[in-house]
Amino acid sequence: MKLKIGITCYPTVGGSGVVATELGKLMAERGHEIHFITSSMPFRLGKFYPNIFFHEVEVNNYSVFKYPPYDLALASKMAEVAKRENLDILHVHYAVPHAVCAVLAKQMLDDNIKIVTTLHGTDITVLGYDPSLSAMIKFGIDKSDVVTAVSHQLKEDTEKLLNIQNEIKPIHNFVDERVYYRRDNDRELRKTYGINDDEKVIVHISNFRPVKRIQDVIESFALIRKEIKSKLLLIGNGPELTVACEMVNKLQLEDDVLFLGKQENVGELFSICDLKLLLSEKESFGLVLLEAMACGVPVIGTNIGGIPEVIVDGETGYLVEVGNTEEVAEKAVSLLSDFEKHKRFSKKAVTHVRENFHSEKIVNAYEDVYNSLVKG
Ligand code: GMT
């Protein structure tokens, strides 16, 4: 059955926006009609799809408002689009404010439209502890028809923290394998960045928020570089970037750390990398780990949140304790200095992603959720 689905996400923010947009695109390719109801065009939308529509949420800032009422404008837009387009489902990414807005839209419509809420992490692991928001988050989750979480750990954390009545269904994230695969552009691109043939390339991609512990990434790199000729690529922008620059200067690593800013075609960049580091203190999944592994890049991640559900320790990379940069360096050196081992990890990373996080498998899981709602 072909469905009409409204999708709301933070269109320009990190992994959740990517997953929401990619899911919308793949659902559209299966013939469903997709309506993005967001504050701006999702940045990964890319090519034209005849059955994907974008409805911009516009917020008027009247002088009586101290703060522009985005949440109310979103709820109104959801209700307007759902009514006009006869939507079957509103699929929202993040409980606050999106799930709450969807509940409000549903009440405005007095309609049987179904709400699917996907939890991505920071709505629970950060905002869930805020007493001014926790009851609202619980409300959004409990009033949704189906709630999914991007990892088992996030499901558990949410249930424990907010005493949730609704069932939460874990559905892992995925990558589009048509975008994330290893290219043979190694030498050209490496040259462009001034990377010598005998150097290894280590990469970190994030939004440089404090939870990403960027200092640990740089400290680990400084230790690795003592043993192995290497470069560190730092990709992304965010509040800790200045701290990162200062630290690089202080450790005199300027020649070996490349700040590449925000990048679109990370699949190509991963293709010149030998190792990816994600040393966060909070991470409900770690989508960048999947993206790296799909491109044959082994990963080292911290043993927290959903990361152990993504990395197979000792096979596709390593799990390390938060803050233990010596352990990171030791594991990285053992991997980067052993050609056969690295090749084995790299191969296993690709097959692990293909077998467990294939887009078809994950999109099927979401489609089953949608179908169960419209049939029931
Ligand atoms: O990590 C962030 O700060 C961005 C955030 C987002 O909205 O994309 O990421 C969360 O959702 C991603 C997609 O499901 C997950 O891969 C990230 O692990 C999760 N971030 C955290 O839990 C800190």
How many Cα neighbours within 13 Å face the side chain of 323?
2
What residues form DSSP beta bridges with 201? 231
Could you tell me the distance, in angstroms and rounded to a whole number, from the CA of residue 122 to the centre of ligand 1?
A: 7
φ/ψ of 302, rounded to 5, equals -80, 150
Provide the whole-model pTM. 0.95
Could you tell me the distance, in angstroms and rounded to a whole number, from the CA of residue 65 to the centre of ligand 1?
A: 31
Q: What is the CATH number of the domain that holds 341?
A: 3.40.50.2000
Nearest Cα residue to 16 out of 125, 212, 143, 173 = 173
- Within 244-349, strands assigned E span 257-261, 275-278, 299-302, 317-320
pLDDT for residue 226:
97
> Is the dihedral angle over the CA atoms 136, 113, 167, 156 positive or is it negative?
negative
Atom of ligand 1 nearest to the CA of 173: 14
User: What residues make up the domain containing 107?
Assistant: 4-174+358-375
| Edge-to-edge order in the sheet of strand 299-302 | 257-261, 230-235, 200-205, 275-278, 299-302, 317-320
Per-residue pLDDT of the chain (376 residues; tens, 9 = 90+): 899 999 999 987 689 999 999 999 999 999 999 999 999 888 777 778 899 999 999 988 777 778 888 999 999 999 999 999 999 999 999 998 999 999 999 999 987 899 999 999 877 777 767 888 889 999 999 999 999 999 999 999 999 988 898 999 999 999 999 999 999 867 888 999 999 999 999 999 999 999 999 999 999 999 999 999 999 999 999 999 999 999 999 999 999 999 999 998 899 999 999 999 999 999 999 999 999 999 999 999 999 999 999 999 999 999 999 999 999 999 999 999 999 999 999 999 999 999 999 999 999 999 999 999 997 5
Domain annotation covers residue 180: no
Could you tell me the distance, in angstroms and rounded to a whole number, from the CA of residue 150 to the centre of ligand 1?
A: 9
316, 345 Cβ separation under 8 angstroms: yes
pLDDT for residue 265:
81
**CB-CB neighbours of 43 under 10 Å:** 14
pLDDT for residue 311:
98
pLDDT for residue 13:
62
Task: Give, for ligand 1, the residue of 23, 98, 120, 205 to mutate: max count of ligand atoms closer than 8 Å to Cβ.
Answer: 120
Say whether both 286 and 145 belong to one domain. no
pLDDT for residue 60:
82
d(C-alpha 143, C-alpha 177), whole Å: 34
d(C-alpha 168, C-alpha 142), whole Å: 10
Residue nearest ligand 1's atom 4 by CA: 14
Say whether both 126 and 253 belong to one domain. no
186, 271 Cβ separation under 8 angstroms: yes
List, chain by chain if needed, residues with CB within 6 Å of any ligand 1 atom: 13-16, 19, 120-122, 125, 150, 173, 207, 209, 211, 282-287
Task: Give, for ligand 1, the residue of 9, 21, 94, 122 to mutate: max count of ligand atoms closer than 8 Å to Cβ.
Answer: 122
Number of domains in the chain: 2
Say whether both 250 and 156 belong to one domain. no
Say whether both 218 and 262 belong to one domain. yes
Task: Give, for ligand 1, the residue of 16, 173, 280 to mutate: max count of ligand atoms closer than 8 Å to Cβ.
Answer: 16
